[in-house]
Structures are given as structure tokens and as C-alpha cells.
Amino acid sequence: MDESVPMTKEGHYRLQEELKQLVRFERPKVVQDIAEARSHGDLSENAEYDAAKDRQGFVEGRIKELNHKIAVAQVIDPTTLKTDKIVFGAKVTILDIDTDKEVTYQIVGVDEADIKVGKISISSPVGRALVGHRVDEEVNITVPSGVKVYEITHIEYS
């Protein structure tokens, strides 16, 4: 049996929207592209046909993957969490002890992670290291450049 995959409501919604887009628009377009490429004759040397078939394989694979992820999703609403520890969904502000620079991350599921918008995966080294800690605690996190020491300055569930 598959393990459930944690994700926020927002992440779950985005996966559902991507699935709808693929099923409603991409799949029919690929079928149309294949039919058009077939009409051009000899399939053995038809680059358009090969490209359309490759695209079809990608679309069908992604549809299958999204259906699976949605089926095993454990949707977590961070606003309902009442804890002073860092858990999935928390927005955490940490202070780099060496540089005195603060940064805020939200701990999210693997499919939602996007460092550019401050979302890190719960399975990332930083995400794993932060889970279970409280405000004012120091955390040693192994990063490519070595071990960094951070102080947790704020935890929010919103």
C-alpha cells in the first residue's frame, strides 16, 4: 500500500488544476496533432508524428502521475494546526547566526517546493532539520558549504 503524501490545500488544488488542463486541453490537442501528422503519409519518416507520439506519452504519463498523487494526498490545512513546534505547513523564520540574515520558509510537500517563493520540501535537508524545533532554539543544518547554525525566530501557521 502506498504511503500518503502530505500537501497543503493550495498544492492539492494546483495538482487538480494541472490534471484538468491536461485532460481537457492537452490530451485532445495531442490526439488531433497525431491525426494531422498521420494524414501526411509515410509514418516511418514523419518527424511530426514522432513528436506528437512522444508528447502523447508525456501527457498520459503525467496524467497517471497526477491521478496517483491526488489519490494518496494527505491534505493538511496549516491554519488548523495548534502547536509551538515546527511541523508540516509551518512558516518558519530563521536567523543565520554567522551573517545575521533572516529568511522565512514554508515547509510544504515535495511537489509544492519552490525556493524562489520561500517554499521548501519537508524532505529537504533544511526542512527535515527544522521539524520538531521551537522558537529560540538553534538548529545545525548541513548544507553544501558545511554546517550552518540557525536560530528559529518565528513560527506561524497561516
Can you name the residues that pair with 74 across neighbouring β-strands?
A: 6
Rounded Cα distance between 90 and 81, Å, is: 9
Domain ranges of the chain: 5-76, 78-156
Return averaged pLDDT per consecutive 10 residues of the chain, 158 residues in all. Answer: 82 96 97 89 79 95 96 91 91 94 94 93 92 95 88 93
pTM: predicted TM-score of the whole model, two decimal places: 0.79
The answer to whether residues 129 and 115 touch, using CB atoms and an 8 Å cutoff, is: no
The answer to whether residues 6 and 106 touch, using CB atoms and an 8 Å cutoff, is: no
pLDDT computed for residue 101 by the predictor:
94
Give me the CATH topology for the region 78-156: Chitinase A; domain 3 (3.10.50)
Rounded Cα distance between 116 and 38, Å, is: 42
Cell numbers describing residue 10: 493550495
Nearest of 144, 146, 132, 135 to residue 98 by alpha carbon: 146
pLDDT computed for residue 119 by the predictor:
95
What's at 143, amino acid-wise?
Answer: V
Rounded Cα distance between 52 and 59, Å, is: 10
DSSP 114: B
- CATH for 5-76, among 1.10.150.120, 1.10.240.10, 1.10.150.20, 1.10.287.180? 1.10.287.180
Nearest of 3, 5, 9 to residue 106 by alpha carbon: 9
Please name the residue ranges forming H helices in 1-158: 9-21, 27-38, 47-71, 125-130
pLDDT computed for residue 107 by the predictor:
95
